[in-house]
Amino acid sequence: MTISWFQAAILGVFACLCSNSCMAGQAVGNYTIGRPLVGGLVCGIILGNLQLGIACGVAMQLVYIALVTPGGTVSADVRAISYIGIPLAMVAISSQGLNPLGGGAANLAKSVGTLVGTVGTVLYYAVATMNLVWQSFGWKDVHNGKIDKLTAVNFGWPWISHALFSFLPTMLLTYYGATAVTALRSALPMDGIAMKTLFTVGGMLPCVGIAILLRQIVGKAADFIPFLVGFTLAASLHLNLVSVTVVSLLFAVIIYEIEMSGSNNTPSKDSAAPADGPSDDDDEEDI
Amino acid sequence: METTNDMKKLDHKTLTKSFHRWFWGALTCFSQEHMQTFGYMASMLPILRKLYPKHDDQVKAIQAYTAFFNTNPMLGTVIVGVTASMEQARANGKEIDGETINDMRAGLMGPIAGIGDSLIDGTLIPILLGISLGMSTGGSPVGAIFYIVAWVLMAYFGQRFLYFRGYRFGDQAVSFLVGKQGAAVRHAIGIVGSMVVGGVLASWVNVTTSLKLRGADGKVFLNLQDKLNSIYPGLLTVLVTLFCWWLMAKKHVSAIWTMLLLVVVSLVGVLVGFFNPGLSY
């Protein structure tokens, strides 16, 4: 599989639409076009191998199932994962002759995608920094009372940041990267240490994504229990995700009822303490 | 007292326009320094143009929105709606100034960001993605298409609802989110989120060992993976995840360094025969 200039350019346009600050908006750009699962569909169509594209997208989505950007700090960049990482992973998998639906292909996709996605954070900060130029135009306009120009500041000028730091890098990296990835086959045999490590890491990377999410929801040791119950329901009882969600709703209702009755009827310290305990941080923000 | 004819009222068309500007442009001119400030100003432009016929008044009014703004852009739509209603009250001579509007914005953006991140990114999207991934197993595009349709519809109409709710009820629209009831709702959602994330991990991630100890006759007398499965299915997967959590949450190691450490762990594991993906050309 190779990537032509034309295909590389289309991938570049999609990179502009999805990467933060996304030209297609947060919900449609970042959260739809930028999702590796959707990126897999798009790359599959552009590169003409839908099945392989989706398989790579599914694998990569697992690593980034929890792409939370608290306070605008990122640990990975969706434009790089979905529109540089997935195309390169597709080329790598087909040049290695792997079964696109096998576990090996998925783990290779995760390793390639995560590497590219991590390096891609540079692009995120480059765009955000260049936008400061357009914002300085905006401040001047506000100062001079030309507020109608703000529309161009918000919707027009940032395209230049993306042309430089989304379109060009994506086009160049996918075009030249495909050749480099193909050359890997002869350099690194599949049963060698390097490839074995790469595949093993690929299998473990989603744990980091889940751990990032856990960092958001776990405050104290007891908060692990619902997480482990959910894990057990799926791993040991083989429930699917919708079923796990339904079971969890029962616990959610119970928690809600307990906290509401505890805080309304008996405002004594004993009953209020457990209800207020975990929310201390939130309460501080509220004030 | 002013008569109803003199009352300035925002029509549906102007509000929709403002909402669309936020939906598409909350983050287009993002920078680390001002974040969503310009997206906010661009969304308020249609409102200001409608309420203040004189250009000078528009320029004066927009000063309130030059203050720093950043929140969860999806749930944060409600704040834009609230400011639209406050701006309308200000244009009608109510005792609201730029500072009142900014206090409201500054007071809400923190809690809304926290709730939005845990509700949308932490709960809703893992469920939706988990379902979609299941539908796309085997390289089928159905799951990806399902995600696109379900999410875009939810995001668009959900945000639209929030915007107009914010406009109609003012900051009453979000009071339930920050009170006692809000805390209870958040904890309840937290339980759903935690359990779903556990389910996602078990359904989609599988860390296994290939370690087998053979006796002198070549027969396997210890298959470690089978032993681990008989103790607790998925034990290694949970342990690796908890290890990553411990590194990031307790040791404050960044995600990138955690990933690099996994590379080292994998390399050592491969060298001693603990891990083996078992592939060949």
Residue B235 CB-density burial (10 A; 0-12 exposed, 13-18 middle, 19+ buried): middle
Chain A residues touching residue B145 (CB < 8 angstroms): 41
Chain B residues touching residue A32 (CB < 8 angstroms): 147-148, 151-152, 155
pLDDT class of A44 with cuts at 50, 70, 90: very high
User: Are B194 and B93 members of one domain?
Assistant: yes
DSSP assignment of B151-216 equals: HHHHHHHHHHHHHHHHHHHTTHHHHHHHSHHHHHHHHHHHHHHHHHHHHHHHHH-------EEE-T
User: Are B133 and B265 members of one domain?
Assistant: no
User: Are B182 and B109 members of one domain?
Assistant: yes
Q: How far is the C-alpha of B176 from the C-alpha of A237, rounded, in Å?
A: 37
Q: Given a cut of 80, is residue A6 above it in pLDDT? A: yes
Q: Given a cut of 70, is residue A148 above it in pLDDT? A: yes
Closest residue by Cα to residue B110 from A286, A159, A200: A286
What pLDDT, on the 0 to 100 scale, is given for residue A141? 85
What pLDDT, on the 0 to 100 scale, is given for residue B263? 87
Q: Report pLDDT digits (tens) over A84-142.
A: 889 988 888 888 778 888 878 888 888 888 778 777 777 887 888 888 888 888 888 88
Contact A228 B198 (CB under 8 A): yes
Between B70 and B277, residue with greater pLDDT:
B70
Task: Kindly identify which residue of chain A lies nearest to residue B60, measuring between CA atoms.
Answer: A145
Q: What is the mean pLDDT of residues A49-76?
A: 74
Q: What is the mean pLDDT of chain A?
A: 79
What pLDDT, on the 0 to 100 scale, is given for residue A67? 59
Domain count, chain B: 2
User: Are B245 and B191 members of one domain?
Assistant: no
Tokens of A2: 């190779």
User: Are B167 and B224 members of one domain?
Assistant: no
A112–chain B Cβ distance below 8 A for any pair: no
Q: Is residue B7 part of a domain?
A: no
Q: Given a cut of 70, is residue B116 above it in pLDDT? A: yes
Q: Given a cut of 70, is residue A60 above it in pLDDT? A: yes
A261–chain B Cβ distance below 8 A for any pair: no
pLDDT class of B178 with cuts at 50, 70, 90: low
Task: Kindly identify which residue of chain B lies nearest to residue A18, measuring between CA atoms.
Answer: B28
pLDDT class of B279 with cuts at 50, 70, 90: low
Q: Chain B interface, mutation test: which of A16, A19, A22, A26, most B Cβ atoms within 10 Å?
A: A26
User: Are B97 and B212 members of one domain?
Assistant: no
A149–chain B Cβ distance below 8 A for any pair: no
User: Are B212 and B171 members of one domain?
Assistant: no
Between B225 and A229, residue with greater pLDDT:
A229
B264–chain A Cβ distance below 8 A for any pair: no
Q: How far is the C-alpha of B159 from the C-alpha of B78, rounded, in Å?
A: 8
Note whether B144 and A54 are within 8 A (CB): yes
Q: Is residue B263 part of a domain?
A: yes
Helix (H) or strand (E) holding B222: strand B220-223
User: Are B146 and B259 members of one domain?
Assistant: no
pLDDT class of B1 with cuts at 50, 70, 90: very low
Between B102 and B180, residue with greater pLDDT:
B102
What pLDDT, on the 0 to 100 scale, is given for residue A285? 34
Q: How far is the C-alpha of B209 from the C-alpha of A200, rounded, in Å?
A: 10
Q: How far is the C-alpha of A134 from the C-alpha of A14, rounded, in Å?
A: 22
User: Are B105 and B190 members of one domain?
Assistant: yes
Contact A190 B279 (CB under 8 A): yes
Q: How far is the C-alpha of A277 from the C-alpha of A263, rounded, in Å?
A: 12
Instruction: Please tell me which of A20-34, A116-130, B151-165 the model is most confident about, judged by mean pLDDT.
Output: B151-165
Q: Report pLDDT digits (tens) over B223-262.
A: 888 888 888 899 999 999 999 999 988 888 887 788 889 8
User: Are B40 and B169 members of one domain?
Assistant: yes
Contact A286 B56 (CB under 8 A): no
Q: Number of CB pairs < 8 Å for A and B?
A: 400
Contacts of A17 (CB under 8 A, 6+ apart): A23, A24, A29, A33
Q: Given a cut of 80, is residue A39 above it in pLDDT? A: yes
Q: Chain A interface, mutation test: which of B17, B27, B68, B242, most A Cβ atoms within 10 Å?
A: B27
Tokens of A13: 């346009």
Note whether B105 and B67 are within 8 A (CB): yes
Structural domain range at position B170: 12-199
pLDDT class of A271 with cuts at 50, 70, 90: very low
B268–chain A Cβ distance below 8 A for any pair: no
Domain endpoint, select from B165, B199, B233:
B199
Q: Is residue B61 part of a domain?
A: yes
Between A279 and B226, residue with greater pLDDT:
B226
Q: What is the mean pLDDT of residues B189-207?
A: 84
User: Are B178 and B76 members of one domain?
Assistant: yes
Instruction: Please tell me which of A109-123, A249-263, A268-282 the model is most confident about, judged by mean pLDDT.
Output: A249-263
Q: Is residue B67 part of a domain?
A: yes
Longest dimension (CA), chain A: 72
Contact B205 A210 (CB under 8 A): yes
Q: Report pLDDT digits (tens) over A165-189.
A: 889 989 998 898 888 777 766 676 6
What pLDDT, on the 0 to 100 scale, is given for residue A277? 37
DSSP assignment of B239-268 equals: HHHHHHHIIIIIS---HHHHHHHHHHHHHH
What pLDDT, on the 0 to 100 scale, is given for residue B280? 55
Question: Which ipTM was obtained for this model?
Answer: 0.78
Note whether B184 and A259 are within 8 A (CB): yes
What pLDDT, on the 0 to 100 scale, is given for residue B150? 93
Task: Work out the end-to-end distance of chain A between its first and last CA atoms, rounded to an integer number of angstroms.
Answer: 57
Q: Chain B interface, mutation test: which of A23, A37, A220, most B Cβ atoms within 10 Å?
A: A37
Instruction: Write down the H helix ranges in A22-165.
Output: 36-47, 50-63, 78-80, 86-96, 103-119, 121-144, 150-155, 158-162
CA B236 to chain A, closest CA, distance in angstroms equals 10
Domain endpoint, select from B199, B234, B252:
B199
Contact A236 B232 (CB under 8 A): yes
How many CB atoms neighbour CB A216 within 10 A?
Answer: 19
What pLDDT, on the 0 to 100 scale, is given for residue A75? 60
Contacts of B12 (CB under 8 A, 6+ apart): none
Chain B residues touching residue A256 (CB < 8 angstroms): 184-185, 187-188
Closest residue by Cα to residue B83 from B166, B205, B172: B166
The domain segmentation of chain A, as residue ranges, is 5-217, 222-281
pTM, entire model: 0.79
Contact A208 B262 (CB under 8 A): yes
Least CB-CB distance to B188: which of A155, A203, A255? A255
Q: Report pLDDT digits (tens) over B32-55.
A: 777 888 888 888 888 888 888 888
User: Are B65 and B125 members of one domain?
Assistant: yes
Tokens of A117: 């996605």
Amino acid sitting at position B19: F
Domain endpoint, select from B159, B183, B199:
B199
What pLDDT, on the 0 to 100 scale, is given for residue A262? 72
Asked whether the bond before A21 is cis by omega within 30 degrees of 0, the reply is yes
Instruction: Compute the C-alpha angle A61/A63/A65, nearest 5°.
Output: 60
What pLDDT, on the 0 to 100 scale, is given for residue A281? 41
A126–chain B Cβ distance below 8 A for any pair: no
